[in-house]
Amino acid sequence: MKELIKYIAQALVDNPEQVEVGEIEGEQTSVIELKVAKEDLGKVIGKQGRTARAMRTILSAASTKIRKRAVLEIIE
């Protein structure tokens, strides 16, 4: 899951080397934290949050396959 989010985020931003992805795992849920450069934050969130929502949808679909819930947090 972590690698999937990192791949998508690096494709969206201008500074792919500054993309950081962390993961906090629980029994049922994983929280994936995405941190990007300040100037790339708008590109990751998108207009009215559409890009972020799309990333969460992809993450949800992928996590269903492994029967574990995943939540994406975008850190400023």
User: Which positions ≥6 away from 66 have C-beta within 8 Å?
Assistant: none
Average pLDDT over residues 4-28: 94
Strand ordering across the sheet containing 29-35: 20-25, 29-35, 69-75
User: Which positions ≥6 away from 4 have C-beta within 8 Å?
Assistant: 58, 59, 62
Q: Where are the domains of the chain?
A: 2-75
pTM: 0.88
Specify the CATH superfamily of domain 2-75.
K homology (KH) domain (3.30.300.20)
pLDDT, one tens digit per residue, over 41-76 is 999 999 999 999 999 999 999 999 988 999 999 998
